[in-house]
Amino acid sequence: PSVLDSFALLSGQLNTLNKVLKHEKTPLLRNQVIIPLVLSPDRDEEIMRQTEGRVPVFSHEVVPDHLRTKPDPEVEEQEKQLITDAARISPDVAQKQIQSLNKMCSNLLEKISKEERESESGGLRQNKQTFNPADTNALVAAVAFGKGLSNRRPPGSGGSVQSGQPGAGGIIAGASGMQQVPMSGAPAQQQPMLAGVQMAQAGQPGK
């Protein structure tokens, strides 16, 4: 019962307040001026709570900013100047300026989107791998150390090889028998392999 009585009392007061505000003789609140009655440089916890920590004090420094209903005089003058300049322009000229501005904005947006697409495609091209590391390692091993090359003479190649290119026929003949061998050998293992290739070339000229 006490809660219902309190609720009825509050409801009646709210209805009375609404009737007063809606009465035709009641002036509009937007036309009223708010005057601060208490200004203090000390920290006010109640104001801090109501403003969620944005206004710690209600002093002479912050009151003109928080209770201002008009812009700064400089801003007001600039706004008046803009309004005056806009009133001098005819509707046709204003429409042409609007169209030209829209065209400039659309061209700028197209350029920005094009640059973004090109940068994305360029990044994809840079990140895309265009070679096979295993094939590269196999080619380097075959050219440098003769790794994976065949010792067979290709049919119809003849017995003579140009003196200026010893071993060229061997590399071409062994191209079909190359294997994908990674270059994982240490420098100590590369020297005997090279010596073996040189000995094979010395024993069989033109291979």
pLDDT (0 to 100) of residue 168 = 44
Nearest to 194 by CA among 151, 147, 145, 149: 145
In a domain, 100, yes or no: yes
Half-sphere CA count of 157, side-chain side, radius 13 A: 17
End-to-end CA distance of the chain: 114
CB atoms within 10 A of CB 153: 15
Place of tokens 């005089």: 73
Phi, psi of 183 (to 5 degrees): -85, 80
In this predicted structure, what is the pLDDT of residue 128? 66
* 128 falls within a domain: no
What's the confidence (pLDDT) of residue 146? Answer: 82
- Separation between Cα atoms, residue 42 and residue 53, nearest integer Å: 15
User: 174 and 141 in contact (C-beta within 8 Å)?
Assistant: no
pLDDT value of residue 9: 94
If one counts every other C-beta atom within 10 angstroms of the C-beta of residue 169, the result is 18
**Which amino acid makes up residue 52?**
E
199: tokens are 């000995």
List pLDDT tens digits, range 121-150: 777 666 666 778 888 888 888 888 888 777
Closest CA to 138 of 177, 165, 188, 167: 177
C-beta atoms surrounding 137 within 10 Å: 16
Residue 154 inside a domain? The answer is no
Please report whether residue 37 resides in a domain. no
pLDDT lower than 70: segments of the chain? 124-129, 152-207
Q: Is residue 101 part of a domain?
A: yes
Domain count, the chain: 1
Domain housing 108: 71-119
Closest CA to 62 of 31, 46, 40: 40
**How high is the pLDDT of residue 158?**
52
In a domain, 174, yes or no: no
Domain assignment present for 29 = no
**Would residue 10 count as lying in a domain?**
no
Q: What are phi and psi of 51, to 5 degrees?
A: -95, 10
Residue pair 41/57 in contact by the 8 Å Cβ criterion:
yes
Alpha-carbon torsion, ordered 135, 140, 142, 148, to 10 deg: -40
Residue 196, pLDDT score: 46
